[in-house]
Structure 1
Amino acid sequence: MPGADLPRVPGVLTARQFLQSAESIAATQESDGALPWFTGGHTDPWDHIENAMALTAAGLLDEARAAYLWSAKTQRAEGSWPSQFRDGVIENEHSDTNFCAYIATGVLHYSTSTGDYVFAREMWPVVRDAVNFVLSLQQGRFGEIHWSAGPQGSSGEALLTGCSSIFHSLRCALALADQLGDPQPEWEVAALRLGHALRDHPEAFLDKARYSMDWYYPVLSGAIRGRAAQARIDTHWPTFVVPDLGIRCVSDQPWVTGAETCELVLTLDAIGDTSRALHLFTNMQHLRESDGSYWTGLVFTDGKRWPEERTTWTAAATLLAADALTRTTPAHNIFRTLLPHLPTPTTCTCPEPSTP
């Protein structure tokens, strides 16, 4: 049963509403434990874990454990997952490295929330194999990680948002390794290299600057902190933030989205900008439905919901943001102070690239 001490944001979201949103996620869970985007929709390994984290925050632990066991059952021998399932059938066999790494974030969140290290130890081989698969696609140039792999090999391309999320997942994996007494020093080296690429080598990544996630994810992940983080957020604030509604998913489209807004809430909270975080969290509640679910987004030029979907992962991001803002569950700070700090050199000493 859910615990009595659930996150509540005064004047914005009650504890009962928090639980109601978690229950709207749980209502979509399939018999094998999968948590799809919505009933009848597809399941991807990243959003599945985000949903499991929200269920954990709400005390729906049976459902959360079933979700993690689904991840264990569907993992392939080399540590990866297909990037898309529907009704237990694989729809896309390619593996997304960011999707695969996120299991580390989820299991650490669960063990920290519950103190159930027996279950964390049961899941540890899944996490270990997933991280090792992801790091097999790390590149020697700067430490970036290719975003996708399939039967013909890797994509040959790295994404800033995906690698930022992987950086956070690597830090979670290192924290989990410490919890379980199985240190992985080579993962720390890999994380240091990846963090360096995220901070100092934008040329290592495809240019996706029109997407808001490329703006805030290097900060959310912890790769960029301090004054540089605040400057990054402030510089692009007018580009993406739509007053009283939330943030744009894409800079040149009149579309605000709930999940991206709540991830920015988590980002602002992580760097101590709590006033703006709470303001944004309050503003995005126009996406909430009476059953506790959340619409994905709103086209603000015509006031229409688009797409016409209430996605579980939008509700999940909202619940994780509420927990972070209210410091309620033991894992509320997984994007802020829970993880060990990795050294961040102040200057890049890489040689200048040679000119042809």
Structure 2
Amino acid sequence: MTAAVPEVLLLDGVLDAVQAADTVRSILAEQRPDGAIPWFTGHHLDPWDHTEAAMALDTAGEHAAAEAAYRWLAAQQNPDGSWYAAYTDGVVTDRAKESNFCAYIAVGVWHHHLSAGDDAFLEWIWPVVRRALDFIVRLRLPGGPIAWRVDEDGTATEEALLTGSSSILHALRCGLAIADYLEEPQPDWELAAGRLRHAISHHPERFLDKGRYSMDWYYPVLGTGLRGEAALARIERDWERFVVPGLGVRCVSDRPWVTGGESAELALALWAIGESDRAVDILRWIQRHLRHEDGSYWTGYVFEDDAIWPEERTTWTAGALLLAVAALGGDPATVAVFGGDQLPAGLVVQDCC
């Protein structure tokens, strides 16, 4: 690391200055010389988690490392604007294309710009973001959702995932923020964002039923699709189903397994709707059993067996934790990106086909 971590990454009972620096260092230690950030050394990289880790580096002031991560994405982009689902040591290991993976660069790039303030880099990478979101818009399904996957043969599924589409809504809104900043209007994105937000808010039947997964519970909030009373009602509805007091958030409702990524993301969603006390509680819980002595984080904990599982420490788990702490600490870029109030909403639409 080049300097001490910013105060926004210090949170009583979660991270002190040494702990925060160790966690940032744990991500930097996994980043490859070409900028790629795998889950951990020797494992694969997916574009979404790679971007989340890069965003966490920006919260720590590691802007050069974050920029290297985005330059890696730019170099790997396919001609149609997409990325493949997985890369291992620079080699493509899954040639499917998952739509939320391909969209998330817009969230990361806008966050990076707000963190680093580099207009030249934003202008340089803008064509990459534009191609990515144009690829996403071409995957629209009737009623607003986005097809979740394009298979290796180029066939797009006719099904959508609520978690993935919620993340895509967030990406479209960040993409529109970039477009506004660069004075490059994108009316197709505005329409796509409006239709998608309406589907997320009012038509759960338009998405595959993945209700046993906690991400489907909180992602409409995390992805800025729900705010206010609707967001709080959604969180309250399934709180007892997914939250294990003192431990964290279940990945799946019927399994005795809490995970760091889901716990930190729920904390970020709670912060976004004014529930900061509960957010801090969750982040404190996971320090007890998921934090490694080197500052990295285990993926999950099976509490019935008192066992770490899987035995891996992932950059995206550390990244999600840092982003949640940064939001709670008032980091301006993280607040702007995940709060949602400062992002363009897209067009206001009613039911559509």
Q: Give runs of aligned pairs for residues 204-353 of structure 1, distance below 5 A.
A: 204-286=206-288, 287-336=290-339, 337-342=341-346, 349=351
Distance 1:20 1:68 in 2: 23
Alignment-derived partner of residue 150 in structure 2: 149
Aligned-pair identity in percent equals 52
Of structures 1 and 2, the one scoring higher in RCO (CA 8 A, sep 6+) is 2
Instruction: Indicate conservation of the 8 Å contact 2:5/2:21, yes or no.
Output: no
Instruction: Indicate conservation of the 8 Å contact 1:293/1:311, yes or no.
Output: yes
Query: In the alignment, does 2:167 pair up with 1:165?
Result: yes
Alignment-derived partner of residue 181 in structure 1: 183
After superposition, the C-alpha distances for 1:72-115 in whole angstroms (9 at most, x for unaligned) are: 00000110001000011100111100000000000000000111
Aligned amino acid, residue 344 of structure 2: P
Instruction: Indicate conservation of the 8 Å contact 1:5/1:328, yes or no.
Output: no
Q: Does the C-alpha gap of structure 1 residues 240 and 267 become closer, same or farther in structure 2, counting only changes over 3 Å?
A: same
RMSD value, Cα: 1.5
Query: In the alignment, does 2:61 pair up with 1:55?
Result: no
How far the C-alpha of 1:332 sits from its partner, in A, is: 3.2
How far the C-alpha of 1:349 sits from its partner, in A, is: 4.9
Aligned amino acid, residue 317 of structure 1: A
Q: Which runs of 5+ in 2 are unaligned?
A: none
Alignment-derived partner of residue 354 in structure 1: none
Q: Does the C-alpha gap of structure 1 residues 94 and 124 become closer, same or farther in structure 2, counting only changes over 3 Å?
A: same
Distance 1:171 1:350 in 2: 20
Instruction: Indicate conservation of the 8 Å contact 2:193/2:347, yes or no.
Output: no
How far the C-alpha of 1:189 sits from its partner, in A, is: 0.7
Q: Does the C-alpha gap of structure 1 residues 349 and 67 become closer, same or farther in structure 2, counting only changes over 3 Å?
A: closer
- Counterpart secondary structure, 1:154: coil
How far the C-alpha of 1:18 sits from its partner, in A, is: 1.5
Instruction: Indicate conservation of the 8 Å contact 2:213/2:253, yes or no.
Output: yes
Aligned amino acid, residue 303 of structure 1: D
Distance 1:11 1:318 in 2: 13
Distance 2:352 2:42 in 1: 49
Instruction: Identify the range of structure 1 (198-207 vs 211-220) with the bigger mean alpha-carbon deviation.
Output: 198-207
How far the C-alpha of 1:330 sits from its partner, in A, is: 3.5
- Counterpart secondary structure, 1:153: coil
Distance 1:246 1:87 in 2: 32
Distance 1:11 1:274 in 2: 14
How far the C-alpha of 1:70 sits from its partner, in A, is: 0.4
Q: Which runs of 5+ in 1 are unaligned?
A: 352-356
Distance 2:73 2:121 in 1: 13
- Counterpart secondary structure, 1:91: strand
Aligned amino acid, residue 57 of structure 2: L
Distance 1:164 1:99 in 2: 12
Match 1:125 to one of 114, 124, 127 = 127
Distance 2:154 2:58 in 1: 37
